[in-house]
Amino acid sequence: MEKAVIYARVSSEEQAKHGFSIENQKRQCEEFAERNGYYVIKTFVDEGKSAKNLDRPEIQDLMAYCGKKKNDVQAVIIWRLDRISRNNEDYHGALRPLFERKGIKLLSATEANVNTIEGDLMRNIGMSFAEYERKVIGVRTLAGLRQKAEQGEYPHKAPIGYKNISREDGSKTTVIDENYAFYVKQAFNLYDSGMYSLRRLTEKLYQDGLRSKTGKRIPKTSVEKMLKNIFYTGVFKFEDKIYENAKHTPIISKELFYRVQDRLIDPNKTRKQNYDFAYTGMIRCGYCGCLLTAELKKGKYIYYHCTGNKGGNCKRDYINEVKIDKLISEILKLIIIPQEIRKKISNELKIVHEKKNGYSKDVKASIIKQIQVLENRIEEAFTLKLDGNITHDFWKSQNDKWQTEKDKLKIQLYEIDKLDKEFYEKADILLGFTDNAYEYFSKGNIKQKRKILEIISEEITYKDKNFNIKLKPIFQTIAENQYNLAQNFANNRTLEIGIIKGVETDSTPNNRKNSPGWTRTNNLPVNSRLLRH
């Protein structure tokens, strides 16, 4: 029997409102494993954790466990796709690449597990809807967070150096965590001295004993985030607004904080441009595995290169974004989706669309009803004021309160409309891809291009001026079949011309594949001029 692990998760809200109990998830996953010939060797459970990101102890342990060859995991079984993630970037950027790299199947106990093009696209749709639901829930809870911030209480989890505690009345507050505050002060002081780079500072803190609360090394990005967090000065930032009435005790002075900010903005360092690049975070260096970063040259030319952050013998070769576009376009010319699959995708999208509309309408109807109640209260109170039955001060205080609540509810409606727009954009990308992948990519914007690459590719690397895309098996098969059809047609056409002219030709597909002017990517011939520069 093949080995499998189970992952289960509930957030406190889901457990209370929907009954997605851990025991129910585990039971259905175990039954699924037994029916399909899997032997469960380990179960990972995150209780009371949101899937908005991967900052969950058990999902981190699962990823580490699956990454070890000795554990020989063949499958990860989940109750439903949204249990493991409700974030497209986490799913496509971390989870899926790990499982695919290790040859691990991600299997749902309650949803279809179809290893076909429509199955893969429907999993994309499912993940998009899971993210949509998460964002709608976030919109509903945002008003409460804003109210907490107005009262001077930080509405999120305390950063390193602080901890969240409960008062006697049950309310939450943030206090200094003496076990970690020392490292925060040390980090600011050492970086302010000018003797430490971020990399050296991270190593120094690790040598001095700084660990995460799970006992792991704190990465350089987290140390940099710490140094940029104004929270340590006794104020906090929430929704781009600085709250000076914060109730927590500062760890460092504002003078020290701003000196560190000046150091972080090094005038000798290339400043980041306020510019979105299509392929950042998607291409890895073939030498060291670092993700390629992008730079804007002369205000109009975009080049990608390895950062060299992991060391290694990197040549730091540059590649122009235009060349990347051309190569991807050539591959997409070979990915032609059959109409029957397009129809299946369309039918499934109709089902998801109806589900989304029902969910969205219920939420919006509830908000509109609350707005109407507040408007009625305002009208009734104003009538009482006109009749002299309530004082001006009472009217003003109540009116201000109700108007604020009404404004917050209207903001929630606006945010939900934005989420609806995002849903339609993602659905449009899937349909555009199935209609004509090449044309849609060629005319697409950055978001559309990135999504199409997520759909078709398993891994993208750049090494020795060679750009390589490893397609998912299903798209690899489609591309190879299409290429063979095109080559057979071209070969037959060449033979016809040769006969007419009275000459012989040996321009067979095999001869052309092996000719000096061509190289192979995923067994597909691609003109080397598109790969080298």
Indicate the pLDDT class of residue 386, thresholds 50, 70 and 90: confident
Residue 482 pLDDT > 90: no
Of 130-144, 433-447, 512-526, highest mean pLDDT: 433-447
Residue 182 pLDDT > 80: yes
Indicate the pLDDT class of residue 20, thresholds 50, 70 and 90: low
Taking the C-alpha atoms of residue 532 and residue 319, their distance in angstroms, rounded to an integer, is 9
263 by Cβ neighbours in 10 Å (0-12 / 13-18 / 19+) ranks as middle
In this structure, what token pair is assigned to residue 484? 């063979």
Taking the CA atoms of 515, 519, 520 and 525 in sequence, report the sign of the dihedral they define.
negative
Taking the C-alpha atoms of residue 134 and residue 91, their distance in angstroms, rounded to an integer, is 14
Residue 156 pLDDT > 90: no
Q: List C-alpha distances in Å: 332 to 26, 222, 434, 439.
A: 41, 38, 11, 9
Scanning the structure block, which residue is given the tokens 């309160």?
Answer: 401
- Please report how many Cα atoms fall inside a 13 Å half-sphere around the Cα of residue 125, on the Cβ side: 26
Indicate the pLDDT class of residue 26, thresholds 50, 70 and 90: very high
Catalytic residue among 11, 50, 128, 457: 11
Looking at domain 151-264, its CATH superfamily turns out to be: Putative Large Serine Recombinase; Chain B, Domain 2 (3.90.1750.20)
pLDDT for 141 equals 63
% of the chain with per-residue pLDDT over 70: 81
Indicate the pLDDT class of residue 312, thresholds 50, 70 and 90: low
Scanning the structure block, which residue is given the tokens 């095109």?
Answer: 486
Between strands 75-78 and 2-10, the pairing is parallel
Indicate the pLDDT class of residue 8, thresholds 50, 70 and 90: very high
- Please report how many Cα atoms fall inside a 13 Å half-sphere around the Cα of residue 451, on the Cβ side: 25
Mean pLDDT of the region 267-296: 72
Contacts of 446 (CB under 8 A, 6+ apart): 276, 277, 278
Of 111-120, 377-386, 489-498, highest mean pLDDT: 377-386
Model pLDDT for residues 268-280, shown as the tens digit of each residue: 444 344 457 888 8
- Please report how many Cα atoms fall inside a 13 Å half-sphere around the Cα of residue 429, on the Cβ side: 24
Scanning the structure block, which residue is given the tokens 């995002």?
Answer: 422
Q: Read off the amino acid at residue 484.
A: N
Residue 483 pLDDT > 80: yes
> Which range, of 247-251, 313-317, 430-434, averages the lowest pLDDT?
313-317
Mean pLDDT of the region 482-509: 56
- 313 or 59: which leads in pLDDT: 59
Mean pLDDT of the region 162-178: 88
Indicate the pLDDT class of residue 505, thresholds 50, 70 and 90: very low
Residue 466 pLDDT > 70: yes
Residue 45 pLDDT > 90: yes
Model pLDDT for residues 189-228, shown as the tens digit of each residue: 999 888 888 999 999 999 999 988 788 889 998 999 999 9
366-395 in b/e form (b: 16+ CB < 10 A) is ebeeebeebeebbeebeeebeeeeeeeeeb
Mean pLDDT of the region 54-64: 91
Give the closest residue to 43 by CA, choosing from 54, 55, 53, 33: 33
In this structure, what token pair is assigned to residue 42? 């380990």
Model pLDDT for residues 314-359, shown as the tens digit of each residue: 767 889 999 999 999 999 999 888 888 888 888 888 888 888 888 7
Model pLDDT for residues 60-112, shown as the tens digit of each residue: 999 999 999 899 999 999 988 888 888 777 787 788 888 888 999 999 888 87
Helix H or strand E segment including 286: none
> Which range, of 3-12, 271-280, 339-348, 417-426, averages the lowest pLDDT?
271-280
Scanning the structure block, which residue is given the tokens 């009538």?
Answer: 383
Q: What rounded mean pLDDT belongs to the chain?
A: 80
Cα Rg of the chain (Å, integer)? 28
pLDDT for 463 equals 87
Structural domain boundaries in the chain = 2-113, 151-264, 472-530
Residue 39 pLDDT > 90: yes
77-95 in b/e form (b: 16+ CB < 10 A) is bbbbbbbbbbbbebbbbbb
Residue 494 pLDDT > 50: yes
Mean pLDDT of the region 284-303: 84
Residue 527 pLDDT > 60: no
pLDDT for 194 equals 83
pLDDT for 431 equals 86
Give the closest residue to 266 by CA, choosing from 233, 297, 227: 227
Helix H or strand E segment including 90: helix 88-90
Looking at domain 2-113, its CATH superfamily turns out to be: Resolvase, N-terminal catalytic domain (3.40.50.1390)
pLDDT for 428 equals 86
Indicate the pLDDT class of residue 513, thresholds 50, 70 and 90: very low
- 238 or 493: which leads in pLDDT: 238
49 by Cβ neighbours in 10 Å (0-12 / 13-18 / 19+) ranks as middle
Helix intervals (H) in 233-338: 254-264, 321-332
pLDDT for 116 equals 64
515 is catalytic: no
Helix H or strand E segment including 461: strand 457-463
Q: How many C-beta neighbours within 10 Å does residue 465 have?
A: 13
Model pLDDT for residues 391-400, shown as the tens digit of each residue: 988 888 888 8
Taking the C-alpha atoms of residue 383 and residue 356, their distance in angstroms, rounded to an integer, is 41
pLDDT for 298 equals 77
Scanning the structure block, which residue is given the tokens 């965590």?
Answer: 177
Of 86-90, 127-131, 459-463, highest mean pLDDT: 459-463
Contacts of 167 (CB under 8 A, 6+ apart): 173
Same fold, 2-113 and 151-264: no
